[in-house]
Amino acid sequence: MSFLSAAYALFVMALSVGRIVLGILLVTAPLPLRDDARIRIPASLIGMLAVYLLLAVAVLLPSSAMSGAWFFVGQLLTFSLLLIAFVGAVLAVYDTNIWTALFCCSAGYTVQNLASGTVELVWALMGGASPRSETFNSPERLGISALCTAAVYLAAYLLITRYLRRDGLERIEDRSMIAMMAVVILVIIGFDLVIKWLVEQGIAVGAMVFLRIFHGLACIFTLTMEFQLLVTRRTQAERDTLQAVLSEQERQYAQSRETVAAVNARMHDIRHAIARLGANEGVDAGLLKDMMHEISVYDTKVRTGNEALDIALSEKRLMLEHEGVALTCVADGTALAFMAPADTYTLFCSLLDTIASTGATSISLVVREVLGSVSVHVECNGSRAVDEWPDAVHGLVRRYCGTFSSLEQNGSVHANILFPAV
């Protein structure tokens, strides 16, 4: 390989490194920067350039003086070591852990390889010259390279970056990211370099197109697998959080059940005591009537046909009465028999607590069965908008395959849940 060819190869690889940086930035966008990022960012960039130059001198240039196959082996080693160096750079700049850095770098590398492979594929389909041709570095190829790279990175931004910015990037603790790193090195980078080496050897255009299509599919599959790991991790974290909330609510449900039973029993005894007083002469009847009215506030007995719903409504009605909020309820509790008692208690406590926190003056609740489906409607007046409904509400609705919607209109908040027929 001539010196000019080697110099051009180094130039192309420098552009590839730039594309890798952009690819990694697409994935690290939602990560928080470290406090002294202003110093760390330029230091990391300088460090990566130094690593690249060191690898070029120690590995790439010596291998370029050998046969073509050894040059591509040198490229594989160079890009593999660069990948590891980029992991260190991400850790230096962003406040994250090594597993998340592995995810970002392997995903960024894959995006870069997808862009590079797309350039080669389009160039071959357009009948472009082979790498051995003097016209291989024509302005037309540079234009195709710019357009294809922009198209792939735009697609990556729309499909990856916007998703990560919306839902965030969880701190990954999955050690399987080491396996994904090996996949990127061997399958994505290695396969790309093998194709380039085969093209240098004069492989047929049809075979090259087939290999490039397969390489592109491998890149897409690798990105899909990586994000599947991310989604699985996020789902597991949400499940753990919800389970912790439900466990606490189940304990609270048991305590509330005992408390409500004790209060109702006590109110029953007090009413009988007042009735006995009323049978005696000389006791002011008006005073007894006032006493009965006062203790009626603490009569928490609600009957809907569902014990868990009764306890939730009894508990919240007493709380709302104390705050001057009227709670009206028309509920067929038997329609909720498909739900676990602790889940029923948690769902309605969360709904009413959220509504009450908006400053409502009155709350109405309707639970009924409609055409085999169960409808839950909560409405309140004189309240402000709900900023965010609790995870427990969304999680429990999903657990029972239901749908949840809410609407704020004219000073009223409406929440609707629909569970399918069981």
Per DSSP, the residues of 78-97 read HHHHHHHHHHHHHHHHBS--
pLDDT digits (tens, 9 = 90+) for 96-130: 888 888 888 888 888 988 998 898 888 888 875 55
Residue 170 has pLDDT above 80, yes or no: no
Whether residue 307 sits in one domain with residue 237: no
In a domain, 355, yes or no: yes
What are the backbone dihedrals phi and psi of residue 128, each rounded to the nearest 5 degrees, phi first?
-65, 165
Whether residue 171 sits in one domain with residue 319: no
Residue whose C-alpha is closest to residue 32's, from 153, 229, 171? 171
Which of 243, 263, 292 is the endpoint of a domain? 243
Strands 362-370 and 326-331: parallel
Q: And the tokens for 169?
A: 């990037």
| pLDDT on residue 155 | 93
Residue 133 has pLDDT above 60, yes or no: no
Whether residue 308 sits in one domain with residue 237: no
In a domain, 278, yes or no: no
Whether residue 333 sits in one domain with residue 234: no
Whether residue 169 sits in one domain with residue 44: yes
Whether residue 235 sits in one domain with residue 330: no
Whether residue 308 sits in one domain with residue 239: no
- The average confidence (pLDDT) of the chain is 78
Specify the residue for token string 């010596």.
Answer: 62
Which of 197, 228, 243 is the endpoint of a domain? 243
Whether residue 126 sits in one domain with residue 30: yes
CA atoms of 218 and 155, how far apart (whole Å): 17
| pLDDT on residue 260 | 61
Q: And the tokens for 282?
A: 């000389």
Q: Which residue has the higher pLDDT, 208 or 137?
A: 208
As a whole number of Å, the end-to-end CA separation of the chain is 72
In a domain, 420, yes or no: yes
CA atoms of 66 and 55, how far apart (whole Å): 16
Dihedral Cα 162, 163, 167, 170, nearest 10 deg: -110
Let me know: does 100 contact 172? Beta carbons within 8 Å.
yes
In a domain, 298, yes or no: no
Strands 412-419 and 373-381: antiparallel
Whether residue 224 sits in one domain with residue 322: no
Specify the residue for token string 């995870």.
Answer: 391
| pLDDT on residue 153 | 93
Q: Which range, of 16-25, 89-98, 207-216, averages the lowest pLDDT?
A: 16-25
Whether residue 369 sits in one domain with residue 239: no
Let me know: does 341 contact 310? Beta carbons within 8 Å.
no
Residue 344: which domain range?
303-422
Count how many domains the chain has.
2
The CATH number of the domain holding residue 377 is: 3.30.565.10
Q: And the tokens for 325?
A: 């909020």
Whether residue 310 sits in one domain with residue 176: no
Let me know: does 401 contact 420? Beta carbons within 8 Å.
yes
In a domain, 282, yes or no: no
> pTM higher than 0.85 for the full model?
no
Let me know: does 326 contact 226? Beta carbons within 8 Å.
no
Number of H helices, E strands in the chain: 14, 5
**C-alpha distances out from residue 102 to 65, 95, 98, 105, Å:** 33, 13, 6, 5
In a domain, 267, yes or no: no
Which of 221, 243, 265 is the endpoint of a domain? 243
**C-alpha distances out from residue 301 to 155, 258, 261, 262, 376, Å:** 59, 13, 9, 11, 21
Whether residue 230 sits in one domain with residue 159: yes
What are the backbone dihedrals phi and psi of residue 419, each rounded to the nearest 5 degrees, phi first?
-100, 135
In a domain, 125, yes or no: yes
pLDDT digits (tens, 9 = 90+) for 299-357: 555 678 888 888 888 778 877 877 778 888 888 888 888 888 888 888 888 888 888 88
In a domain, 283, yes or no: no
Q: Which residue has the higher pLDDT, 257 or 61?
A: 61
